[in-house]
Amino acid sequence: MKVLLVEDDGTLAEMIARALRAENFAVDIAADGLDGQHLGETEAYDVAVLDLGLPKVPGATVLRAWRKAGRQLPVLILTARDGWTEKVDGFKAGADDYLTKPFRVEELIMRLRALVRRSTGHATPRIECGAVSFDAQTGVFELDGLPLKLTALEWRVLECLILRKGVVIERGDLTEKVYQGDVGTDSNSLEVIVARLRRKIGRDAIETVRGRGYRLTAAAPS
C-alpha cells in the first residue's frame, strides 16, 4: 500500500510515516498544499492522508483539485478543529473519512486499511486466493492457515496482487505502488521480489503476463 501524507507539522508527519512504514506501507510526505496537490495529481497512491490546515494551498482546495483532475483515491482528512462545519466542508470536497487531532495512530492505520479494502471492492476483511489468505484489517498474510513471513517489499507486492486477485497489475503500476520515491536496487527489483514470493507461496501462484505485468491466481503451491 502506498500512502500520500500531506501534513505541515513535520514532527507529526514523521511520527505518522514511521508508524505506517512499520506496518509495511510505502509513504511519500508533502509539507504543504502545493506539493501535496502536485503529488496527488501526478503519482499513483492507494490512499491519501490530508491535513485541512495547510500552508500555500488549503487542504479542501487540494482535495477539490484532485477530484476535478479525476483522481479517485480514497482520502482521509485530518483537522485540528472539532467543528462540524469543517468536517462537512471536507466531505463536500470529496473526502471519504476523517480524524480529529489528536488521534491514535493505530486508529489511523485501521481506517486507512478499511478505505483501501473497500476501494478495491472487498466488503469483508478476509481475502483469499488459493492457499493464500490476507486479513486486510490487520495486514497479516497466511499460507494454508499458517503465518507467512514477508519482507516489507514482498508484503507490498503481494498486497497489491491479492487486493486485485485475478486481475493483471501492470508492471509500472505495481512498481509505483511498491517504492516510496526511492530507486530500487538490483536486489530489490520487482522481478527479484516476485521470484522470492513465488518461492514462498508457489511458483504458479503469480502469473507473468508478458508485456504487461503480473496476476495472482488460485494455483496450488508447487
Which DSSP string corresponds to 171-187? Answer: HHHHHHHH-SSSPPPGG
Helix boundaries (H) for the chain: 10-22, 33-42, 59-68, 84-93, 105-119, 152-163, 171-178, 190-201
CATH class of 126-216: mainly alpha
Predicted confidence (pLDDT) at residue 219 exceeds the cutoff of 70 = no
Please give the pLDDT value at position 34.
Answer: 97
Domain ranges across the chain: 2-119, 126-216
Mean pLDDT value across the chain: 91
Q: Is the pLDDT of residue 39 over 60?
A: yes
Going by C-alpha positions, the residue among 16, 80, 25, 21 that lies closest to residue 47 is 25
pLDDT in tens, 125-171: 999 999 999 999 999 999 999 999 999 999 999 999 999 999 999 99
Cα 124 from Cα 48, distance rounded (Å): 21
**CATH number belonging to domain 2-119:** 3.40.50.2300
Q: How many whole angstroms separate alpha carbon 195 and alpha carbon 98? A: 38
